[in-house]
Amino acid sequence: MRAVLKILLTAVVTLGLVSQALAARATTVFNPVPDPTPSAQIIGGVDATEPYPYMASLQSLGGGHFCGAALIRPQWLYTAKHCVDDEGPGTFQARIGSHNRTSGGVVVRSAQVVLHPSSASDAALVRLANPVSYQPLEVASSTPIGSPIRLLGWGAVCDPNPCAPPTILQQLDTSILPDQSCGRNQWELCVNNPNGWRGACYGDSGGPALIKVAGVWQLAGGTHGGTSAVCGQGPSFYTDAAYHKSWVEGIVGGGGGGKQFESQADVQIPDSGTAESPLQVSGTSGAVPGTLEVDLNIVHTWRGDLKVELVAPNGTVYPVVAPSGNDGNDNITGSFTVSTPNNGNANGTWKLRVTDRAAQDVGHIDRWRLRWFS
């Protein structure tokens, strides 16, 4: 049976001065606590005091928590690469929208894991099998030194001795230190351990650090590691979400508030024929972004007969759903991520094209929505 906790910290034993720490850095690996006794609390934290609908617990299919994550789009999570680099599509699940890692919210399986291409970066994205209705967390554009931040997670409360795991999400208020305080890279945040014995620990990996911008929480980073051989005794380091923002948006679509366009026109799909539902897009920044999300509600018996495509204003055709003759279930519903390399102006008439490739089954396009993140 797989362990339910990923390794949290590649800890560095500091000798007081940064130069000494860099010269004498030793890598200490924390042993994960074996199933079924995961640790589940930030050291020195308190029970969550407000809703965090974007908070996610990454879990085995049996429900064992192993890492944290943050919902940044209705169908995408931001987490740590070391949490998911040995996982495949559908091999784990996420509980989203609950303070309790064992109940509440929604549970959705993973559908895709995208690892940052740099071996030095610990950032990763997880596409969910279905979108969720909870409010996503916007990725911060900057993370200034000295800024107050809030850590969230279900990581260990005791180190080096394991503790009985509480199930309620923990939070801890701290601040961003200069990079040299951790001796780390520019793609990381150095996070203070206020008053000592406070910070991230086992099971917090991938969980978010939040920064408040204009009164609204945004994603500052994801838990990566620490500077002490024992959790909470030294600063922690997190991936810097602002540094990774362009990469994130290249995968999931841009931020900036986003737009969405919806057609509720009922369009019949002729038997063994093709239907097109037009949708007018306006007010975007110009070029087609790298990624769009298409929400579908297509009512049709034997959905495997259908081929669904998105047609851009310049005529470029992007596949959305491929036909599968063996799929005899009814209807196509849900959100689908469509790769759309920059190609032409986004403003204009988009079309959802649905082709019925076999006879004897009928239906209609009930409604569809194009989600625009730039």
Output the pLDDT for position 22. 23
Output the pLDDT for position 344. 81
> Are residues 258 and 371 in contact, defined by beta-carbon separation less than 8 angstroms?
yes
Residue 108 DSSP symbol: E
- Taking only the tens of pLDDT, the chain with its 374 residues reads 222 234 333 333 221 212 222 222 222 222 232 222 332 346 778 899 999 999 999 999 999 999 999 999 999 999 999 999 999 889 999 999 999 999 999 999 999 999 998 888 999 999 999 999 888 999 998 999 999 999 999 887 777 776 756 689 999 999 999 988 887 677 889 999 887 778 888 888 999 999 998 888 999 999 998 777 777 778 888 999 999 988 898 888 754 445 678 888 999 999 999 999 999 988 776 778 777 878 788 999 999 999 999 999 999 999 999 998 788 888 897 778 788 876 788 899 999 999 999 998 889 999 898 876 54
Residue 185 DSSP symbol: -
Provide the H-helix boundaries in the chain.
Answer: 18-24, 81-84, 245-252
Output the pLDDT for position 249. 85
Output the pLDDT for position 112. 92
> Are residues 135 and 96 in contact, defined by beta-carbon separation less than 8 angstroms?
no
Question: 3-class SS at 98?
Answer: coil
d(CA 147, CA 153): 20
Domains, in order of start, for the chain: 1-252 (2.40.10.10), 259-372 (2.60.120.260)
> Could you tell me how many helices (H) and strands (E) the chain has, helices first?
3, 24
The tokens of 50 are what? 């407000």
d(CA 76, CA 89): 13
**Of 66, 41, 50, 37, nearest in space to 206 by CA:** 66
CB atoms within 10 A of CB 13: 15
Output the pLDDT for position 184. 67
d(CA 148, CA 191): 10
* Phi, psi dihedrals of residue 264, rounded to the nearest 5°: -110, 15
The one-letter amino acid at 241: A
Output the pLDDT for position 16. 22
Output the pLDDT for position 180. 80
Output the pLDDT for position 14. 23
Output the pLDDT for position 215. 87
d(CA 72, CA 54): 7
Output the pLDDT for position 40. 30
d(CA 106, CA 337): 20
Q: What is the DSSP string of 4-63?
A: SS----EEE---SSHHHHHHH--EEEPPPPPTT----B-BT-EE--S--TTEEEEEETTS
Output the pLDDT for position 164. 59
Beta bridge partners of 367: 297
Output the pLDDT for position 150. 95
The tokens of 143 are what? 């993370």
